[in-house]
Amino acid sequence: MAGLGEKKVLISDSISKICQETLTSAGFTVDYRPGISKEDLIACIKDYDGLIVRSGTKVTKEVLEAGAGRLKAVGRAGTGVDNIDIPVASEKGIAVINTPSGNSISAAEHTCAMILATARNIPQGHFSVKNGKWERSKFMGVEVQGKTLAIIGLGRIGREVATRMQSFGMKTIGFDPLVPADEAAKFGVEWMETANIWPLADFITVHTPLIPATKGLLNDTSFGQCKKGVRVVNVARGGIIDEAALVRALQSGQCGGAALDVYSTEPPTSNGLEDLVKEEKVVCTPHLGASTVEAQVKVAEEVANEFIAMAEGRTVNGL
């Protein structure tokens, strides 16, 4: 967006108003149209220099081709850019910018809440009481103190989860191909290969991107190598834990509980996911990892500041 003439930006998902305010103060013209239809987006995108999205808008080849010429940047108020066709954006010279750190703490806190929720059957107990029942023995839980938490992916979120769960007395082990063992040791994680992790873990939480190497990272084979009753958590991306394998592991008792914030199809109402979320031992939330007031303000401010930097010809956090 360097040398950008009109600095006209469309925000097409629900994003904190601080984004629009920051851009407007810097001389941008901003149209805020959360929930715009795919057809309307394709029809109007040619009139904008920038597009800002969260995860709702699918920035497909069609959208990018319709915007190419004028559109110079797509900003993602958040981490994952799975909803943006990056190869096509690169081909068209459209920069893709994300805000990878603004929601890390919120996602880490949500993960910790999910670990505890599955350990103590909190949502199941909650619904039981709401339905007039008093089922104390049915919802017997486990302590996390003294248990081993395996963290797959030791980036921004994985390491924040590690330090928080250490304060609950958990032993933390983990794997990341790009984080060496001495670096992992600095935040209290004992680095090991996944083959060595599976038999040791009482809880497994995944914090990787969804890429070919991580798709189905937890599958029938890896579940088979785990302790019986292992609990699993996914606040990263749906599909890192193979969902069909998870159903089988829950039904056989190999998996003792799962806490899921993300699904390979969102909402999880098709492709067998409706059966997964109905499993009694599954605790689920509707992709809420980044849904805090604080995280949404941070990502909104960060994406706006990246656009301003780009318009001023300064270096940006592009992908």
Length of the chain: 319
* CB-count exposure of residue 27 (10 Å: 0-12, 13-18, 19+): exposed
Of the pair 102, 125, the CB lying nearest ligand NAD is at 102
Catalytic residue among 76, 120, 207, 287, which? 287
CA angle 89/92/97 to nearest 5° reads 35
Out of 218, 276, 290, 300, the residue judged to bind ligand MLT by CB under 6 A: 290
23: nearest Cα among 77, 60, 69: 77
Applying CB under 6 A, the site for ligand MLT has a residue count of 9
Mark 108-147 with x for binding to ligand NAD (rule: CB under 6 A) and - for no binding: ----------------------------------------
Q: Rule CB under 6 A: is residue 205 a binding residue for ligand NAD?
A: no
The residue (of 141 and 239) whose beta carbon lies closer to ligand NAD is 239
Q: From CA 185, how far away is CA 162, in angstroms rounded?
A: 11
**Residue carrying the six token digits 């007031």:** 293
CA distance 258 to 282: 5
Please tell me whether residue 77 binds ligand NAD under the rule CB under 6 A.
no
User: Residue 235's closest CA among 274, 178, 288?
Assistant: 288
Binding positions for ligand NAD, 211-230, rule CB under 6 A: 213-214
Rg for the chain, CA atoms, rounded: 21
Cα–Cα distance, 249 to 232 (Å, whole number): 11
Phi and psi, residue 175, nearest 5°: -140, 140
Q: 91, 266, 294, 312: which is the annotated catalytic residue?
A: 266
Nearer to ligand NAD, 141 or 209 (CB): 209
Work out what residue 176 binds among ligand NAD, ligand MLT, none; the CB cut-off runs from 5 to 8 Å by kind: ligand NAD
CB of 232 to ligand NAD, least distance (A): 15
Active site residue 274: no
Per CB under 6 A, which region of 19-27, 60-68, 78-86, 168-176 contacts ligand MLT? 78-86
Task: Report which of 317, 307, 312 is spatially closest to residue 18, judged by C-alpha positions.
Answer: 307
Q: Does the protein bind ligand NAD through residue 293 (CB under 6 A)?
A: no
Q: Are the beta carbons of 242 and 218 closer than 8 angstroms? A: yes
214 binds, among ligand NAD, ligand MLT, none (CB under 5 to 8 A by kind): ligand NAD
Catalytic residue list contains 33? no
Please list every residue from 92 through 111 that binds ligand MLT, using CB under 6 A.
103
**Contacts for 293 with CB less than 8 Å, ≥ 6 apart:** none
Using DSSP bridges, classify how beta strands 282-284 and 203-206 pair: parallel, antiparallel or unpaired: unpaired
237 is catalytic: yes
Does 237 bind ligand NAD (CB under 6 A)? Our answer is yes
In the complex, least distance from residue 294 CB atom to ligand MLT, rounded to whole angstroms: 13
Residue from 4, 23, 97, 107 that binds ligand NAD (CB under 6 A)? 107
Contact yes or no for 296/99 (Cβ under 8 A):
no
Question: By C-beta, is 166 or 194 nearer to ligand NAD?
Answer: 194
* C-beta separation of 9 from 307 below 8 A: yes
Chain residues binding ligand MLT by CB under 6 A are 54-55, 78-80, 103, 287, 289-290
Chain residues binding ligand NAD by CB under 6 A are 79-80, 100, 103-104, 107, 152-158, 175-179, 207-209, 213-214, 235-237, 261-262, 287, 289-290
Q: Which residues are catalytic?
A: 237, 266, 287
